[in-house]
Amino acid sequence: MNFTLLALFLLFSLSSQLLLGASNASPEEVLDTSGKKLRTDTNYYIIPAKPFVICGIVSCFNGGGLVLDTFDETCPLDVMIEKANDGLPLQFSPINSKMGVIRVSTDLNIMFSAADQNNCPQYSTVWKLGDYDASNGRTFVSTGGDFGNPSSQTIKSWFKIEKYEDAYKLVYCPSVCKSCKHLCKEIGIFEDKNKRMHLALSDDPFKVKFKKV
């Protein structure tokens, strides 16, 4: 009888440890195009997993990356897609940056590193979800966001990277404020009437990879 009780106790303890270990497991690390871990304080390009094909008079080439909207004089500047090159370098800062590694499903700030490309110096280059644009029927990803300080006041400045097929996608679904009501949406592409491509909330995710500068 005692042996049976001991066996049941050990089985229960082992099962509890396994479940606890699974619940405490860290999210998967995000990898760059070289298969190395994404790290804080390191510059990366966010590029399309399937590059855009640009054809000139003589030949065609692949490209695509993210830039600041320097064609629009309205501040803060929106995040746009540039088809011809890798765009501008960016950095990622997770809500807990002590480990220095970027992981999926984790709240993080995304910011352009090239401050000299910012035509609105009074605003930061930290990404922020903009206000709803009724003329286009979209909510664009803009800049002028808040760095750190997770709270209801900064909730529009937190994004996540999620695994998506053989690459990744960006989403807006912050967890920094448990009591806040907010949208959970993919970050996709919106092409305006001038054929310019914006990052915006969408039902269709923009499939991306991360290339170290």
pLDDT digits (tens, 9 = 90+) for 21-78: 444 678 999 999 999 999 999 999 999 999 887 776 666 667 899 999 977 778 999 9
What is the SS3 assignment for 50? Answer: coil
pTM: 0.84
**Closest among 141, 73, 75, 155 to 111, alpha carbons compared:** 141
pLDDT the model gives residue 123:
93
* Domains with residue ranges and CATH for the chain: 28-212 (2.80.10.50)
* Residue-wise pLDDT tens digits, 125-137: 999 999 999 988 9
pLDDT band at 169 (very low <50, low <70, confident <90, very high): very high
Find out whether 104 and 86 touch, Cβ atoms under 8 Å: no
What's the one-letter identity of residue 101?
A: V
**Closest among 207, 202, 208 to 183, alpha carbons compared:** 202
Find out whether 45 and 65 touch, Cβ atoms under 8 Å: yes
pLDDT the model gives residue 190:
96
Is residue 105's pLDDT more than 60? Answer: yes
Q: Residue 66 and residue 64: Cα distance in Å, rounded?
A: 7
Whole-number average pLDDT of the chain: 86
Is residue 7's pLDDT more than 90? Answer: no
pLDDT band at 208 (very low <50, low <70, confident <90, very high): very high
Q: Which residues make beta-bridge pairs with 190?
A: 198
pLDDT above 90 as % of the chain:
64
What is the SS3 assignment for 189? Answer: strand
Q: Residue 30 and residue 74: Cα distance in Å, rounded?
A: 34
